[in-house]
Amino acid sequence: MASQGKAYSVLGSSTLAFTICFTIWMMFGVIGIPIKAALHLNETEFGLLTAMPVLTGSLIRVPLGIWTDRFGGRIVLFLLMLFTVIPIYLISYATAYWHFLVLGLFVGLAGGSFSVGTPYVARWFKKDRQGLAMGIFGAGNSGAAVNKFIAPALIAAAGWTVVPKVYAGLMLAAALIFWVFSATDPSHNVKSNISFLAQLKMLKDPKVWRYCQYYSVVFGGYVGLSLWMVKYYVTEYGFDIKSAALLAACFSLPGGVLRAFGGWLSDKYGAYKVTWWVMWVCWVAFFLLSYPQTDFTIKTINGMQTFHIGLTPMLFTIILFVVGIAMAVGKASVFKFISDDYSSNIGAVSGVVGLAGGLGGFILPVLFGAIVDVTGVRSSCFMLLYGTVCVSLVWMHFQFRREGMLAAQAALPA
């Protein structure tokens, strides 16, 4: 019973820590808007600004996952959080574009907390409950929504420079709370005689790369849209930053909180079925969101008549809300694949898959901005995401069909 209580304490403290880390990781999605205006940035430069923390938060995931396997998640996550406090605070004093880019790289290390917490939490629970446990921890993605509630209020009250100062205090407090309520179990660590190269042997497995592609859609897409949607509401529909952030939270909040629900579904119905339906929901939703605001005129028997086609803010938000739910479920189902197939090496594999998802979150905002600069069509971001989902659906169909045929052949009598 004491062991079960310790497991829940680890889960709770880790989820809180990850929520704060993710809140700060998404910081530029809101404060980047007044910074963009002050520095006169174009759309591509804004995309790069918001994406810089995502870059380091992605690249650090593989080593962090491996260090977690070796040294334990408690010490790794605690030190990681402490390391980011000063860079977060210094953002308040940045004045040039390159200042924000460099500091963003250091702040972005907080995003690597996912690859620490996932294996750390999973090993405290039995296999049939790991999907739910990892889903609850992954609900810390809702920090993207927390940022959209806190940052606009702070900007309205005292300007954007106060946001990094408050966030630095939050990170320090979260690190201390995590250390007090978390625990260490040396039996969870990988034996020291297992080499670094041995831990990375799973990279030869094509399944790992398949899971990377899925995760780049559901997590990379979630991060990219979380960073982009506040500005999208401001520029596409004319909302002020506070209203835009609240509407954007309709995507970010379910996209984080319902990850636990996705873990439960994956435990119950299996990772493949859940991921398949997630991709189909996203495919339909992105098709609808891709259509730009359009006016066209046709010749009728009564003369020329003009029509308008486009999503209203309400309809747009509803569809985006559905996408948020689907991505939350998909993020959990992809990691259910990992816990099923790589239970003894979750840290390293989750680091690789997390790296792929994070790189997707880094590349997408930059591409969103570049495509808008080139085409002038704001909904082009959803066109790009529609294409990535098509790739996933085709890959899933042929790969799992092939594996099913091989399994059926192996089951036949000699």
Report pLDDT digits (tens) over 166-176.
999 999 999 99
Phi, psi of 60 (to 5 degrees): -80, -5
Q: What is the pLDDT of residue 212?
A: 83
* Contact predicate 241/234, CB 8 Å: yes
Q: Look over the chain and give the mean of its residue pLDDT values, rounded to a whole number.
A: 83
Whole-model pTM above 0.85? no
Segment 243-273, tens digit of pLDDT:
998 888 888 888 777 777 887 788 788 878 8
User: What are the DSSP E strand ranges found in 275-408?
Assistant: 294-300, 303-309
For 295, list phi and psi in degrees, rounded to 5: -115, 130
Tokens standing for 385? 């995401």
Residues 107 and 75: beta-carbon distance below 8 Å: no
Q: What is the distance between the alpha carbons of residues 93 and 209, in angstroms, rounded to a whole number?
A: 41
Statement: residue 177 has pLDDT above 90: yes
Residue 206 one-letter amino acid? P
Render pLDDT for 81-133 as a digit per residue (tens, 0 to 9).
999 999 999 999 999 999 999 999 999 899 888 888 888 888 888 777 777 78
Going from the C-alpha of 58 to that of each of 63, 114, 198, 251, 280, the distances in angstroms are: 10, 10, 22, 22, 26
pLDDT of residue 2: 46
Task: Say which residue, 315 or 353, is predicted with more confidence.
Answer: 315
From residue 15, give the alpha-carbon distance in Å to each of 22, 133, 306: 10, 10, 52
pLDDT in the model for residue 334 = 84
Task: Extract long-range pairs of 303-309: CB within 8 Å, 24+ residues apart.
Answer: none
Q: Which domains does the chain have, with CATH numbers?
A: 2-182+202-409 (1.20.1250.20)
Nearest to 328 by CA among 247, 265, 286: 265
Q: Rounded mean pLDDT of 283-310?
A: 87
Place of tokens 């605001």: 293
